Structure 1
């Protein structure tokens, strides 16, 4: 997700608000100051912010899952604002003048890289873990405003199929963030980090590194 410094400030402020339910104001302020060093909002940033908070304040360990979900929601909101901005400027693929004609669109390298990462994650999971991951993702996608207007049948990954996904960097980034959050709940954050790393490396074997990193 490529965004400006102001968006980072907004994300950091929103994440600090999540922690306000768990920490004293001064403790939140210290973490917020530490997070201001980041130049972009990304999955890696969120992972590090969770680690920063739980390492500095071990009592947060029991709330790690809730905090992670709260942080992800702030990233999702930021990305949604960007997507809506693109839509208002005429870049939405569902513009009225396009609705009458459905032309097959070649699958881009970015979408193929996304498929590769997700399939690499699936290959590292047991059948039960895989089912839990994709059904949770499917349910969340159907409810979240970020994905409204897009028909995303994530459960198709369970059948070894590749569901249709939008060729949109921001939405694919959001889907990857969601996959990470759900994966943390399924396997735990340490294993999730390792699985994500291996999946990303797998994709980088077939696609440019800079392209794959856009997903994260």
Structure 2
């Protein structure tokens, strides 16, 4: 998955954010692991994400195993249920998006350019989902904490990028990260199943509109 949730789910659900006993996937993801175990899990999650994007979250586990170059049993040892795997992929992609923010600030020519590039990643995160929305709206208790987790990790990153761009004088200073992310999310609704709708272009126009007039 170049991403992890769709706009209607991200901004439409509540939830306390508490991780209950049934949220085994989230607990496992938070537990410290050895470096080699983290690398192996990352390989599996990258493979699962790619297969989910191509074929949806109901894709056969054997396809994920083949993509990762491991046996099916290895997938099940790491992720006993499909829900565990979906939760882990989601968290993995959220973390990748969150970690990209500081890196882009360090490597981009200007803070505004860093913001623009991060929003591009965020759009990819939102529009490359196939079936994840329906899964996250299910009654599986393991998905309950994901909404708050998404916001807790990504809103501060977006806020830091906005603050940096505002301090550099490139954008107006009265913008809030949550509002911008919600606006981007709303523009992305439907983009995954309507080839005539170019969400990325519209989001690009939105981000361009943040700039101060010359």
Identify the TM-score tier after normalising by the shorter chain: 0.3 to 0.5
Q: TM-score, length-normalised on structure 2?
A: 0.34
Q: TM-score, length-normalised on structure 1?
A: 0.34
Question: Which has the larger helix fraction?
Answer: 1
